[in-house]
Chains A and B, each alone.
Chain A
Amino acid sequence: MSRIAVLVWLTAIMVAALGLFHVKYEVQRLEEELGLEHQSILERQEAIHILKAEWSYLNQPARLSDLARRHLGLAPMVGTQVVRLDDLPQRAVQKAEVPTPTLDAILARARNSR
């Protein structure tokens, strides 16, 4: 009786110890992985930071206007080029004969589009 108990306890201890070590190594591995991820995030952030500075440098207004002039043939816009929608003359539209859709047709279209 006591021998069985001892055996049971020994097995339990072995299993617990193995489980403990397994969890411990798993945690260690995950922590390492986490550290690497954090490091790579920081590296990416630093890269983004540098790229932002470079983006700002490449977007120097003088450089952009020079590029636009040379390659796109663009010039700065002036106020007289801006027209409001209200200022446009009304277009003379010839009303085409559009059949008034029935309720059934509208519902059918709605169903199809779904």
Chain B
Amino acid sequence: MNPPDTTFVRTRRPLDLDTGSDPTSMVLLDGTIKQCLEIGRTRLLAAGLVFAMAFLVVGLRLVDVSLLTDGNEPRLAAAPRSNALETIRADIVDRNGVVLATTLPTASLYANPRQVLDPEAVAARLSAALPELPGAELAAKLAAERSFVWLKRKLSPRQQHEVNRLGIPGLYFQHEPDRVYPHGALTAHVIGFAGMDNRGLSGIEQAFEERLRGATRPLALSLDLRVQHVLTEELAAAMATFRAIGAAGLVLDAESGEVVAMASLPSFDPARPGEADDDARFNRASLGVYEMGSVFKIFTTAMALDQGAVGLQDGYDVSQPIRVASYTIRDFKPKNRWLSVPEIFIYSSNIGSVHMAMDSGTPSQKAFLGKLGLTRAAQIEVPEVGQPMVPSPWREINTMTISYGHGLAVSPLQMVSAVAAVVNGGQLVPATLLKRGGGERVVVRRVLSARTSRDMRWLMRLAVQNGTGRLADAPGYLVGGKTGTADKLRGRRYARSARIASFIGAFPMDRPRYVIFAMIDEPKGIESTHGYATGGWVAAPVVRRVIERMGPLLGIQPKALDEEEGADRHLVPVNLKGTVFAAN
């Protein structure tokens, strides 16, 4: 240390200020210089301290991050996920998982004409592989002074393979997703179709746009493709036989309300919707509304029985036609005698039905049909839903004509839902096109008593056994139902030659599982039906064949013929050629 009394300090190490030649020379610092050095030393110390602190912090953090904490460190490296194939639009499948609509990668062929060496030769080879492309047009495209030209959009895999095999330089593929419908026209009206940009434009594709877009989980419909095929094939056969202009059919699960099949003919190819005319794209089963004719007598009879206006033992004299205003209501095949209620139903007597409806009254008919959902549009997933044509005001004459199915036009879909309610114990189940789990009934509303439902099942069975619906009887399946023949409205009057022949049935009638509707639009009578083109001759056989074919498919146990009648029968006198029938 320097002695405190000296004014000059001697630095511990000699400073090399000016000469530096002599290490032993001492530099004496006076007050100012000393002060400067002191300041410099303090600053250096301060700065050093700051840096030391900073390094300490960094060091501590380093220890903290690398040794003490591992919270931010993933224990497993993040792997690219490959467990689900990303599609831009989810599949649509039927109730058994059969693919009805899917999105496939397709290749579109384009060319860079600048890289094509010999346009003529390339065009010739290419049009040999893709015959639908004319060679001359191709050559013109390939000779163009551009660097990009589309040759063909959305090739099939086979076509892509063919083109690839040619190995022509300058041709390239652009991958694009495309919506594919493996079953084509068979499901066209239900599924609908998607446009060029893969956006749904009709049917389920449109209704579930949000659900399908960007999803991978397939959408399961209530349709059963096998039943859909059976129904479509039988309807098409009937259409061809009777030279009809169209047909529609539905199969509905009477318990759950699921639509198992929905067909509308003529159909169209959903891959080329633009080429189909409006008639083919029109969904007759849900969008079309028709005056259904005598099948409405199911509702008239059910209403009269449910309200106690008539009993099964009652009856009416139907020998006199009813004259109201300028109308005369007659029977198609007049019996000219007293008929019991079951006879009115199975012989399809218009006069008897009018009497029954009048005994129930206009307000109750309006309320009853409203409860069955026949006076407002059906609730179903597809956007193509027809608005029923309801008379306004609902006069007495309307009550009379509606009792046998004229003056109120409803869609086939409304028809099957209402009949399902009549036969399933009296509960209206909303129809759906989506698969429901294990036979559950949702939002059920009672519309008629279980007792009436049982009587109606018996009456419908009787109509098939002994009445107008005989041709619908599929042995072993206890088919019940009602025929309907309605003249079509042409302008303001009914046309005698243009009619709708329909049949609505359910089976097996001891505990109905399925309600089946078949409708043929403008059938023409043929020799084997003795010139008749009525529901009993045209539509009933369709329903029989559909039931015969779908029964074994869906595992429905056919009954031996003699065990048809159940244990608890009550006798109802039905004057059918002097016989008495037993009701269950």
Report whether chain A binds chain B.
Answer: yes
- Give A residues with C-beta under 8 Å from B: 31, 34-35, 38-39, 41-42, 45-46, 49-50, 52-57, 59-62, 65, 76-82, 84, 87
Q: Can you name 19 extra interface pairs (CB under 8 A) apart from A49-B85, A52-B99? A: A34-B79, A38-B80, A38-B82, A41-B82, A42-B82, A42-B85, A53-B99, A53-B180, A54-B182, A55-B99, A56-B99, A60-B183, A61-B225, A62-B233, A77-B552, A78-B548, A79-B475, A82-B476, A82-B552
Report if B40 contacts A (CB, 8 A): no
Q: Is the CB of B226 within 8 A of A76?
A: no
Q: Is the CB of B85 within 8 A of A80?
A: no
Residues in B whose Cβ lies below 8 Å from that of A78: 474-475, 548-549, 552
Residue of B nearest to A49 (CB): B85
Q: Is the CB of B551 within 8 A of A79?
A: yes
Bound Cα distance from A34 to B551, whole angstroms: 52
Distance (Å) between the CB of A62 and the closest chain B CB?
A: 6
- Give B residues with C-beta under 8 Å from A: 77, 79-80, 82, 85, 87, 98-100, 102, 104-105, 157, 180, 182-184, 186, 225-226, 228-230, 233, 474-477, 548-549, 551-552, 557-558, 560
**By DSSP majority rule, is chain A's interface helix, strand, loop, or mixed?**
helix
Distance (Å) between the CB of B547 and the closest chain A CB?
A: 8
Q: 28 A-B contacts, Cβ less than 8 Å apart?
A: A31-B77, A35-B80, A38-B79, A49-B102, A49-B104, A52-B99, A56-B98, A56-B99, A56-B182, A56-B183, A59-B98, A60-B186, A61-B226, A61-B228, A62-B186, A77-B549, A78-B549, A78-B552, A79-B476, A79-B477, A79-B548, A79-B552, A80-B476, A80-B558, A81-B552, A82-B552, A82-B558, A87-B560
Residues in B whose Cβ lies below 8 Å from that of A59: 98
If A35-B80, A61-B226 touch, whether A50 touches B104 (CB-CB below 8 Å) is yes
**By DSSP majority rule, is chain B's interface helix, strand, loop, or mixed?**
mixed
Distance (Å) between the CB of A25 and the closest chain B CB?
A: 15
Residues in A whose Cβ lies below 8 Å from that of B225: 61
Bound Cα distance from A59 to B98, whole angstroms: 9
Distance (Å) between the CB of A46 and the closest chain B CB?
A: 6
Bound Cα distance from A61 to B223, whole angstroms: 14
| The one of A38, A62, A77 that contacts B229, using a Cβ cutoff of 8 Å | A62
Bound Cα distance from A111 to B84, whole angstroms: 49
Q: Is the CB of B558 within 8 A of A79?
A: yes
Residues in A whose Cβ lies below 8 Å from that of B85: 42, 45-46, 49
Residues in A whose Cβ lies below 8 Å from that of B474: 78-79
